[in-house]
Amino acid sequence: MDFNLSELAYIASVWALPVLLAITLHEAAHGFIAWSYGDDTAYKLGRVTMNPLKHIHPIGTILLPLALIVLKAPFLFGYAKPVPVATHRLRKPRRDMVYVAAAGPMANLILAAISALLYNLVPLLPDGAALWLAQTLRISIIVNLVLAVLNLLPLPPLDGGRIAVGILPISLAVPLARLERYGIFILLGAFFLLPYLGRELGLDIRVFDWLIRAPVNWMLPFFSGLAGLPEAMRL
């Protein structure tokens, strides 16, 4: 570990705001759309809010991402407290749940676009502030794109899994929905266990690169253009 305290403080300063905004807007969007379609469960629990304290999970939002940053992991992983949705209270449960699930990734894409547009203000600031803002906005763009892509994977309990359950024929939706209790373990196994086993067997199994890094890098030229950058960012 070659981090010193000032370096850790600076890393935390450029990562904390983008991560907190990304998860807060993501979860609040789920709650707001559920509320607008008839389910006020999240609203009554105070989860339709931009207060990050309502959405932070102490392990998934703070300890796990911080550990991966300190350990210089090749990718960042984390999660927030999921917004409760009483599906039966939605006006048209199967259809409306698709909208509720899609709201989170859509919020992240919008926040990535806002971050990219704000990047155009960087040259107007003094050097020190400009450097900090540039790094913070770059991280915000990438974090939000990673969250959007990750959550759109068609695996419950991810948003993409719930979208798939809502639009697939019942014969396919039911068995997919049954995977929800195992989904997080499947995801962790794919991102951590399979690459490790691949290295032991001399195989190149980079699931994160295939499912997350490639789509994010495909989108980054567009967001880099919004930011006015001469070259596209890369994850």
d(CA 207, CA 219): 18
Q: Is 200 part of the annotated catalytic residue set?
A: no
d(CA 109, CA 101): 14
Residue from 168, 141, 36, 144 nearest 90 by CA = 36
d(CA 130, CA 165): 45
Residue from 59, 65, 68 nearest 18 by CA = 65
Residue from 178, 181, 193, 183 nearest 153 by CA = 183
> Residue 36: phi, psi to the nearest 5?
-70, -20
Q: In sequence order, what are the residues at sequence separation of 6 or more whose Cβ sits closer than 8 angstroms to the Cβ of residue 208?
A: 74, 75, 191, 195
Per the structure block, which two tokens stand in for 195? 């690459």
Q: Which of 27, 180, 200, 231 is catalytic?
A: 27
- Give the catalytic positions in this structure: 27
